[in-house]
């Protein structure tokens, strides 16, 4: 499990630890303070942390690091297999070979307040396809050496988002470049590009005109001039001049050899740029400005080449006659945000049939649509009418949804979104309260509640559901803690689960039993989360990615086990944001980082430290004889373990040693009847009825008057096998718990450990076992068996036990 917490969480550095028990590692484990890693397909789930990073969701692995001041230290947390990387922080000069350890990088974003980029800084990035320089708008000047981009032989897109570029830079652009974006900069004249990029219009090698797919100069608020011939000879696909002071007519003077698409949204353009459309025979035009107001038939006559037209927010109140007929090639038309209360696109007199595919009439204040409005749009595939004043009447549909007929009405439904729903009408009203709609083909379900449902609805029984998002299901009137199994049930193909504001408090292993395919778990805006310790046993089946976003982990000892588990398991990557803190003990003052606080204040965390052992810990144990009369299980365990260390039990080989007993039997007084009636005859009796073994029983063989700790340690040292008879009663007995802990510690710590066998007289949950023993069961899963209640199963039980104890003998 890799845990990444925000800066200040007290978990810096990284740890590489390969697990022998897990066969599907994602990447080597690490702990990072400010880096978030995700697969590209999951980028939408955490997109708000990538807002300023133009990363591509089609890339396999992405990473974003914030608050970067030391580049080398920050990159230690980033796996070398990433193909998309964004770095944000404060580094004025990028050192040479700064990213040479990432030769497979495809997309790189640098929001580092850079002032200079020297040759060699990007060496080794021969596969880089997109490079972005980001900075606060028009406040940061960036100087690029003319040869700074020479190593980027595969670069296709170059973005400058914010920094002002030195006019004397003379930057040599890679011949592979297809898109150039210069936004939020200090540009005032398009002609400045010729000084910054002298080979923008022509190749420096052949002298031939360069071809670019996109040149984007949007959001340059001071850009208002176009020097004649500034882009002389350039063959351009799309030119973006949105949010500038440019007029579309000025594009004619740039000297472009070719232009297919022009966008001049929110510029000073006051009319349809008919001459520009005709000169370049534009295929796409985007123009929008409240100053346009109306369109003349004369202007439309020049627009016959258009295939896509956006007249958004243009202040239009009416369309001229034969509007569509003037543009016979038009396929996409966007008229959103105008004042077209009535629209007449088709005229029956001409019999014209438009090839229009998409029509957007949103936000127009439309009052009515006549039957003839769409009569010539037989090819229309998409019609958008949001936020108008239309009244639509659907007579005779007979649409009545019930749980019994939902699959018949929507047999092919793949995506379903329920907004502002309490889900009460969709759930059973019995104690199970599960989702009733049976939609076998549903793959994506998103539910946003209204906060008025007193209990959650369990989403289950959807065999093909792959994505589930539950939002705002928390009961506002009387909030109560919710467990994950109350929200989701049997969803065998679910891959992505998002929970936000659901009131979730406890996350336990039981909740994942019906989620065998889950790969990503996102917990957003949840408070006081407790991750049950049983999750560490389920580590191989945990999702690959767990994101706890804008949420908090409870400052409770139940979470103390998390940090070492996160660091030790390479199967799951976890990101926790923001920094997790615990309140000050006195109720005031500064707060403490979560995990260091828990490790220093929780009993179980202290036991885990003691179990690891160190020289300082051994010195501390010298004081334990002063606590001789204490009889709590924690002190007894430490005393017994110290005695075992001093006797050399941890490192002593068992081969060739003469043991006083064959088996040490640990049991409580309440289970003594089973031991005497069932176990003793089967093990101490001579063959063939018994095994002929000598057992060490506490009540029979412990030395009278001798301290219980000494008796336990000596008996285990005198037996090659420890057999623990467990029940609920035994687990509540201090001596049995002591014997089980000591046996487990020897099993884990000794180079040649004794054999530890477990017999369960009744079903016992793993969560009731001591933590050390649950770890032991991960290592030796075959060394336990349950005593059968039926007679037919007892033969198999005795066969298993005899097989584990070895050949029979009689003394």
292 close to 315: Cβ distance less than 8 angstroms: yes
Number of C-beta neighbours around residue 261 at 10 A? 19
Give dist(CA 264, CA 277) in Å, integer.
12
Q: What's the confidence (pLDDT) of residue 395? A: 42
Q: What's the confidence (pLDDT) of residue 587? A: 56
Which stretches of the chain drop beneath a pLDDT of 70?
1-33, 50-51, 137-139, 203-207, 348-350, 371, 390-410, 420-426, 428-436, 539-540, 566-572, 574, 577-578, 584-590, 603-657, 746-753, 765-782, 807-811
Three-class secondary structure of residue 753 per DSSP? coil
Give dist(CA 684, CA 732) in Å, integer.
28
Global pTM value = 0.62
Three-state SS sequence of 433-481: CEECCCCCCCCEEEEECCCCCCCCCEECCCCCCCEEEEECCCCCCCCCC
Handedness of CA 520, 526, 532, 536 (dihedral sign): positive
Cα 186 → chain centroid: 37
Q: What's the confidence (pLDDT) of residue 108? A: 95
Give dist(CA 241, CA 226) in Å, integer.
11
Give dist(CA 211, CA 225) in Å, integer.
23
DSSP labels, 382-424: EEE-TTS------TT------TTTHHHHSTT--EEEEES---G
Token pair 């030769």 is at which residue?
103
Give dist(CA 197, CA 231) in Å, integer.
11
Give dist(CA 326, CA 324) in Å, integer.
5
Q: What's the confidence (pLDDT) of residue 513? A: 84
Q: What's the confidence (pLDDT) of residue 130? A: 95
């Amino acid at each position: 499990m890799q845990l990444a917490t925000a800066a200040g969480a007290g978990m810096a550095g990284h740890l590489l630890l390969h697990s022998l028990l897990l066969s599907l590692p994602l990447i080597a484990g690490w702990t990072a303070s400010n880096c978030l890693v995700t697969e590209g397909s999951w980028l939408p789930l955490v997109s708000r942390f990538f807002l300023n990073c133009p990363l591509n969701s089609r890339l396999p692995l992405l990473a974003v690091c914030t608050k970067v001041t030391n580049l080398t230290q920050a990159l230690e947390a980033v796996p070398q297999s990433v193909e998309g990387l964004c770095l944000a922080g404060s580094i004025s000069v990028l050192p040479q070979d700064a990213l040479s350890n990432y030769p497979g990088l495809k997309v790189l974003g640098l929001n580092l307040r850079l002032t200079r980029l020297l040759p060699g800084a990007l060496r080794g990035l021969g596969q880089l396809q997109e490079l972005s320089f980001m900075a606060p708008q028009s406040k940061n000047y960036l100087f690029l050496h003319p040869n700074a981009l020479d190593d980027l032989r595969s670069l296709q897109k170059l973005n400058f988002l914010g920094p002002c570029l030195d006019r004397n830079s003379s930057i040599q652009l890679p011949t592979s470049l297809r898109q150039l974006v210069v936004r939020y900069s200090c540009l005032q004249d398009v002609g400045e590009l010729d000084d910054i990029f002298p080979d923008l219009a022509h190749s420096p090698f052949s002298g031939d005109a360069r071809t670019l797919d996109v040149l984007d100069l949007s959001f340059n608020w001071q850009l208002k001039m176009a020097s004649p011939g500034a882009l002389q000879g350039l063959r351009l696909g799309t030119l973006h001049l949105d949010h500038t002071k440019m007029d579309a007519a000025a594009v004619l003077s740039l000297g472009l050899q070719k232009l297919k698409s022009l966008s001049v949204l929110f510029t000073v353009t006051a009319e349809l740029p008919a001459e520009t459309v005709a000169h370049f025979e534009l295929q796409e035009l985007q123009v929008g400005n409240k100053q346009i107001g109306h369109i003349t038939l004369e202007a439309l006559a020049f627009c016959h080449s258009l295939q896509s037209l956006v007249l958004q927010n243009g202040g239009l109140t009416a369309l001229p006659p034969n509007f569509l007929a003037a543009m016979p090639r038009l396929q996409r038309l966007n008229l959103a945000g105008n004042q077209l209360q009535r629209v007449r696109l088709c005229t029956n007199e001409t019999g014209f049939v438009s090839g229009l595919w998409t029509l957007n009439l949103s936000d127009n204040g439309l009052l009515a649509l006549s039957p003839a409005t769409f009569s010539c749009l037989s090819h229309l595939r998409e019609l958008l009418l949001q936020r108008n004043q239309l009244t639509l009447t659907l007579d005779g549909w007979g649409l009545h949804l019930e749980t019994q007929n939902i699959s018949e009405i929507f047999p092919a439904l793949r995506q379903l979104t329920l907004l502002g729903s309490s889900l009460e009408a969709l759930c059973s009203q019995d104690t199970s309260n599960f989702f009733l709609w049976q939609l076998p083909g549903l793959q994506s379900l998103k539910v946003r509640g209204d906060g008025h449902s007193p209990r959650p609805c369990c989403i289950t029984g959807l065999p093909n559901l792959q994505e589930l998002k539950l939002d705002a299901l928390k009961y506002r009137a009387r909030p109560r803690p919710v467990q994950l199994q109350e929200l989701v049930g049997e969803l065998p193909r679910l891959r992505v689960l998002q929970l936000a504001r659901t009131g979730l408090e406890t996350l336990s292993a039981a909740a994942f039993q019906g989620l065998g395919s889950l790969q990503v778990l996102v917990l957003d805006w949840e408070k006081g989360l407790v991750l049950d310790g049983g999750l560490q046993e389920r580590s191989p089946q945990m999702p690959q990615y767990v994101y706890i976003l804008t949420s908090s982990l409870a400052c409770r000892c139940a979470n103390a086990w998390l940090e070492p588990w996160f660091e030790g398991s390479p199967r799951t990557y976890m990101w926790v944001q923001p920094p997790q803190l615990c309140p000050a003990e006195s109720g005031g003052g500064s707060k403490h980082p979560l995990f260091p606080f828990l490790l220093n204040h929780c009993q179980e965390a202290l036991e885990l430290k003691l179990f690891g052992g160190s020289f300082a810990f051994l010195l501390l144990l010298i004081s334990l004889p002063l606590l001789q009369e204490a009889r709590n299980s924690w002190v007894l365990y430490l005393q017994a373990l110290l005695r075992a260390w001093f006797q050399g039990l941890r490192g002593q080989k068992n081969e060739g040693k003469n043991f006083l007993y064959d088996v040490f039997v640990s049991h409580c007084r309440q289970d003594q009847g089973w031991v005497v009636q069932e176990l003793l005859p089967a093990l101490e009796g001579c063959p063939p009825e018994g095994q002929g073994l000598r057992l060490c029983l506490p009540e029979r063989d412990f030395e009278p008057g001798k301290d219980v700790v000494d008796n336990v340690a000596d008996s285990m040292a005198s037996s090659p096998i420890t057999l623990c008879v467990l029940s609920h009663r035994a687990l509540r007995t201090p001596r049995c718990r002591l014997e089980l802990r000591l046996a487990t510690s020897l099993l884990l710590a000794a180079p040649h450990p004794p054999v530890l066998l477990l017999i369960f007289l009744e079903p016992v949950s793993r969560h009731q076992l001591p933590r050390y023993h649950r770890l032991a069961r991960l290592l030796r899963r075959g060394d336990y068996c349950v005593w059968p209640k039926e007679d037919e199963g007892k033969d198999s039980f005795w066969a298993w036990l005899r097989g584990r104890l070895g050949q029979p003998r009689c003394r």
